[in-house]
Amino acid sequence: MTDTDGTPGPTDPHCADPHDHTGHDHPPTGADLVQDLVKGLSILALVIPVLAVVLLLAILPLAPTSPVVLLLGIALGAAHLGSLVVTSLFVARTRTQLAVNPGLLAVRSAVEEALRVAAVLLALVLWPADIRAELGVWVGAGAALVWLTLATAQTISTRRRIARPSDWSKDAISTLLAERVGARSAVVMRLLDVIGTLTFQVGATVLVILSPVLAIGTVVLSIGSGLSTLVLQRRSPAERARSAWAYAPLAIGVLTLALASLGLITL
């Protein structure tokens, strides 16, 4: 709508023609963001299982003599998940501030790596004729599959909660709009976190099976990844997207896998 002299009317101080957006950047509305998030999360919910399939296909040349090795890895992943659940329940029943306590994070990382050492030692006892590296790859892949399954379930749950009108979805969308965080950025960062988890699980298990002493190193790497998450929790969503700490889990996961690959080559 315009005045008689051709200047923009009071209904839109930016555009003379409401359908002509040339030269103007219009931020997305809440409905736009919901639509983009639902679409992005739907794609992510399909991509994560594809990563699981790619992982299994990639490690087929290293298949051990028994498929039960993969089940042992799944049991390891389930034990890690159980450790996380127990920690969360402990925090919920004591003080919520413990959720961002580095000490509790260090204890949980140490427990997880102790479980990893126990799993690989059991694998060596059960399948002594197999190559150590192959056992490590498949035990690690089994653990990674558990976390990929969890990530898929969480993604589907988040997509449904975003799509369904509720106080939670309204607060989430309002926060993203206020912080100018786009749907693409949120989905991509989630995907990078998943890839970081996958690479860390495989890489850490291979390192530990090559030498149980290396479990100390995996504990340090696990704590480093967790600390980066704690740092991000203390920042706004907009700051998280721009912070280098957001890429720390991926970097640590890739580094762990690279060290494991180097160990396999020099074995």
Could you please report the per-residue DSSP string of 177-239?
HHTT--HHHHHHHHHHHHHHHHHHHHHHHHHHHH-GGGHHHHHHHHHHHHHHHHHHHTS-HHH
Amino acid at 250: L
Share the mean pLDDT of the chain: 85
Which H or E element spans position 240?
A: helix 237-242
> Are residues 148 and 140 in contact, defined by beta-carbon separation less than 8 angstroms?
no
> Are residues 30 and 177 in contact, defined by beta-carbon separation less than 8 angstroms?
yes
> Cα–Cα–Cα angle for 41, 43, 44, nearest 5°?
60
Between 34 and 199, whose confidence is greater?
199
Q: What is the DSSP letter of 2?
A: B
Asked whether residue 245 carries a pLDDT value surpassing 80, the answer given is yes
Q: What is the DSSP letter of 11?
A: T
What's the chain's Rg over C-alpha atoms?
23
pLDDT tens profile 139-154: 999 999 999 999 999 9
- Tokens describing residue 188: 């991509």
Model confidence at 99, pLDDT cuts 50, 70, 90, reads low
pLDDT tens profile 178-203: 878 788 888 999 999 999 999 999 99
